[in-house]
Amino acid sequence: MAGRAGAAARRPARRPGAPRGRVPAPDRHRRRRGRVVRALAAQTAAELRLTLRRGESVLLTLAIPVGLLAFFSVVHVLPLPAGVHRPVQFLAPGILALAVMSTAMVSLGIATGFERQYLVLKRLGATPLGRPTLLAAKTLAILAVEVVQVVVLVGVALALGWSPGGDPAAAFGAVILATAAFAGLGLAMAGALRAEVTLAAANGLYLILLLIGGMVFPLSHLPGALADVARALPSAALSGALHATLTGGGPGGGAESWIVLAAWAVAAPVVAALTFRWE
């Protein structure tokens, strides 16, 4: 009897059982968070694999920006802003802006448009993954692709003689704002238009913003009215902000660029959220 009493005294006290056989609340929350994190990681990996399998996405996000940067840095046919003597010094920040736009707006918009048309979004949204986690996975996939783009483009630009300066941390902030703005535009098109129309609209807008966004042509060489319109667009705002933060100053890199970029980063996702249809 004394041995049993001693063993019982050494045995740790049991936690009170939850009513109706439920798992205690802290454990439930911990397990739920773990499931969400695992689902987010799995869906992000799936989004990245799908992006790499689409040849047009690789062409748009890497081949075109690298080709434009290399060609126009070597072949001096583009006008340069005042005070800039080497094309790569002007082109490198602009092509980085182009890469962000191609990934966050065009690639995301087209892929999401066809996923919506084929009811992929509807099916995924009805699974335990959930719509918020799905959108978060798409966002993380975009950021991962942008990291690869920056590494590749900066390496090519340095090899071509680019001399960066300024504040890379501020440039990172500009890229985050621009990603939100361009992703909002891409999702707004994908959620309101048919997939084929989204394909045409995204590529058309890409070409327009490339030409008047200060990425390959300085805004100072555009007609006055067209330059004023361009300065209100997210492409010119990002290009100006990157010129200012990566070259220690540049065309269109004042506070106006940051205000325009922040406004688009708020307005475009709001419009996308209000107009997006999942099927």
Q: Over the range 75-103, which residues count as b (16 or more CB within 10 Å of their CB) and which as e?
A: eeebebbeebeebbbbbbbbbbbbbbbbb
Angle at which helix 25-53 crosses helix 131-159, to 10 degrees, equals: 50
- Look at residue 1 and tell me whether its pLDDT is greater than 50: no
pLDDT digits (tens, 9 = 90+) for 57-82: 778 888 999 999 999 999 988 888 87
pLDDT digits (tens, 9 = 90+) for 251-262: 555 789 999 999
pLDDT digits (tens, 9 = 90+) for 141-175: 999 999 999 999 999 999 999 999 888 899 999 99
Give residues with Cβ within 8 angstroms of 99, minimum separation 6: 61, 62, 65, 146, 149, 150, 153
- Look at residue 45 and tell me whether its pLDDT is greater than 70: yes
In whole angstroms, what is the distance from residue 15 CA to residue 23 CA? 12
Q: Are 97 and 179 in contact (CB under 8 A)?
A: no
Average pLDDT over residues 4-10: 52
CB atoms closer than 10 angstroms to residue 64 = 17
- Look at residue 194 and tell me whether its pLDDT is greater than 60: yes
2: confidence class by pLDDT, cuts 50, 70, 90:
very low
Give residues with Cβ within 8 angstroms of 53, minimum separation 6: none
| Residue 8 exposed, middle or buried by CB count within 10 Å (0-12, 13-18, 19+) | exposed
Query: What are the residue ranges spanned by the domains of the chain?
Result: 32-75+82-275
Amino acid at 212: I
Per DSSP, the residues of 198-249 read: HHHHHHHHHHHHHHHTTSSS-GGGS-HHHHHHHHTSHHHHHHHHHHHHHSSS
In whole angstroms, what is the distance from residue 194 CA to residue 189 CA? 9
In whole angstroms, what is the distance from residue 107 CA to residue 60 CA? 8
